[in-house]
Chain A
Amino acid sequence: MRRVSQLALFCLTLLSALSMEAQSVRARAPDTFEEMHATPTTIDSPYWYAFEFKLGPYSPAGGNSAFRDTFGDDRGWLVALELDFTLWHIPYVGTINAGAGWGWANYDAKAFNAAGARSGEKTEFTIYPLSALAVLRVDALARLTGVPLLFAGKVGYEFVRWSAETGGKSDASGLNKGLRWGAQVGLELDFFEPDAARTLDQEYGINHTFLFFEFFRSQTKATGDRSFAIGFGAIF
């Protein structure tokens, strides 16, 4: 392991030296076609945040059959946002982040009358999942090999604020808590338009954008589910 570190240090030193040499070469006027059209050195701006917008099906377990009896197969749409803050950049791996998520999903159906038939009144169940997460983002493939794939693993605690109402009148509301974890694979979009991606970074500090698929599980009692989401993200 120590040998690997030493080798890595040597390579870095060598790369730095070569890079400095290249800079000094560019200090003079270009005198060949290749020099004139050499790709300019680009440096990523520092990044500290990741933002995600995602949506997917979500159906709370409910705790008993009432949810299924009332809302049937309503899988809602769970719309969610997540903001991660980078705590540590791990060389050649990625970043460790602290994240906070917020979501919303609503389920509605006609309430039942005394005979057990559907009445004209609407009954609703709304959830607002809030999560505090530790997020490992692995971008080594994209950074070191050019393969535009990103990976992320998330684990944390979730607080689900919920409310139930019928006919516009609140029946109950509350807060459920539990573990939440997820795994994500993302496709970095920089390779579609590398120049535009660079401009986005230089002008606005958005280093990378990506589309992703995330599988996750919320283990909050009665409001949890195992589902997936697709979304768009940005690292800045």
Chain B
Amino acid sequence: MPRKVMKWLAPLLFVLTSLAWPAFGSAQTTTANAISMGLRVFADGREFKNETRVFVGKSQCTSGVNFAFTASGYGMAVPVLELWASSSAGKDCSDAANRSSPNNQPPVCWLVASETNVQPATSTTLKAEAIELFSQDGKACDEVTNLPYYAYLVPLASPTQPGTAMAPPAITGVTILRAVFTLYTQTPKAPTAVSGRSGETTLGISWKKASGADVNTSYRIYYDVGQGEGDAGVECGSGGLVAGQDPKDNDTIDYKVEKTEGGSISGSLVEIGDLVAVGVVTVDGGGNRSALSEIVCIEREQTDGFYDRYERANGNGLEKCSLHAPGKASWSGWGSLTMLALALVARRRRTT
């Protein structure tokens, strides 16, 4: 039996290892003769968990938020570490040509910050304001939307001189670190076709995503249970929700975050018979918020599930019991099955 298992296992392991190897290669920056560096990206002191997908909202882009790129490496000292930025994946700043200024033309990439004499086994931080990173290509923060920007930490033997026809190449064998930013600078649109579904334990809400939504879009369902004059446009709620206005997050209006189109709120939050005003706000990957969608009224009401109807129709076929209440359950069946299984195992052992 072990031979048979090995016969399967060995090629399986080989295939899995082969498939996984490139992934290991890209994730691990250490090679035998290279200097390894790691990158951490911060914005106003808050670290992004994944430096390859940093989402930046309009407020961060325009308000001069400070980004910090902390590189840590070991192996040998790097004379100069420069922070370069570009606005397109095709403009690779690790390529010296894109950092060069032939005929005194501005380089494709732009230099943001630099640090000299980077020692091994230490952390080096290069700082830059958002405006320096994202607006050097002539586009203001309110003009671009959902565009990727790239920041490169390039190790060099000597600093790049402005206007140099041919920029110095990166030191070979040293990892060039890159962070990818996605700028969300447009106000997202509110969801459309909002509708509600009544229920007893859950109140369902569905909507259609507005154009421009992507995989990083999330939604906030705002609901208002008050007994006041009603929210704008509907005769329910306490007046805290107004369609077309951002309700913000406050203590009086509750919300729930959903990642997909459609969601629900728990019926236990309201009494049976209560009307709930519900609206939805789109939040894009950069944290920009849309106005509140149209508002709908949903009632929490008593519902009849299958078993309620079954009982009301004098059903007596289903034998009710609970595994959590063994006193009420019939264990004879389970016991029989267990005995049968044991008998089979015993017989099998005798015959082999």
Residues of A within 8 A of B (CB): 48, 61-67, 69-71, 85, 87, 98, 100, 107, 109, 111-114, 119-121, 123-125, 130, 132, 157, 159, 162, 164-169, 171-177, 203-204, 221-223
Q: Is residue B48 contacting chain A, with contact meaning CB distance below 8 A?
A: no
CB-based nearest B residue for A71: B306
A171 near B330: Cβ-Cβ < 8 Å: no
Closest chain-A Cβ to B338's Cβ sits at a distance in Å of: 10
B contacts with A, residue count (CB < 8 A):
46
Contact of A62 among B197, B312, B317 (CB under 8 A): B317
A159 near B317 with CB under 8 A, answer: no
A162 touches B318 (CB 8 A): yes
Which segment of B54-62, B198-206, B274-282 sits at the interface?
Answer: B198-206
Given known A98-B344, A168-B202, contact A175–B319 (CB-CB < 8 A): yes
Residues of B contacting A70 with CB < 8 Å? 305-306, 309
- Whether A67 contacts B310 in the complex (CB less than 8 A), given A121-B201, A157-B333, comes out as yes
Could you give 28 example pairs across A and B, Cβ below 8 Å?
Answer: A48-B351, A61-B317, A62-B317, A63-B316, A66-B310, A70-B306, A98-B343, A107-B306, A109-B306, A111-B303, A111-B305, A112-B304, A119-B200, A121-B197, A121-B204, A125-B307, A166-B306, A167-B200, A167-B201, A168-B201, A171-B307, A171-B308, A173-B320, A174-B319, A203-B4, A204-B4, A222-B315, A222-B317
Cα distance A175–B332 in the bound complex, in angstroms: 11
Give the one of B204, B305, B314, B316 with max A CB within 10 A: B305
B347 within 8 A of A: yes
Grouping DSSP codes into helix (H, G, I), strand (E, B) and loop, the B interface class, with mixed when no group exceeds half, is mixed
Q: Indicate if B340 sits at the interface (CB-CB under 8 A).
A: yes
Q: Which residues of B lie under 8 Å from residue A61 when comparing CB positions?
A: 317
B337 is an interface residue with CB less than 8 A from chain A: yes
B residues adjacent to A (C-beta < 8 A): 4, 196-204, 267, 301-310, 312-323, 329-330, 333-334, 336-337, 340-341, 343-344, 347-348, 351
Q: Are B204 and A69 in contact (CB under 8 A)?
A: no
**What's the least CB distance linking A114 to chain B, in Å?**
6
Question: Which of chain A's residues have a CB closer than 8 A to the CB of B322?
Answer: 173-174
Given contacts A85-B344, A121-B305, A159-B337, 19 further A-B contacts (CB under 8 A): A62-B310, A63-B310, A63-B316, A64-B315, A64-B317, A69-B309, A70-B305, A100-B340, A113-B301, A123-B307, A124-B306, A125-B307, A167-B199, A176-B319, A203-B4, A221-B318, A221-B319, A222-B317, A223-B317
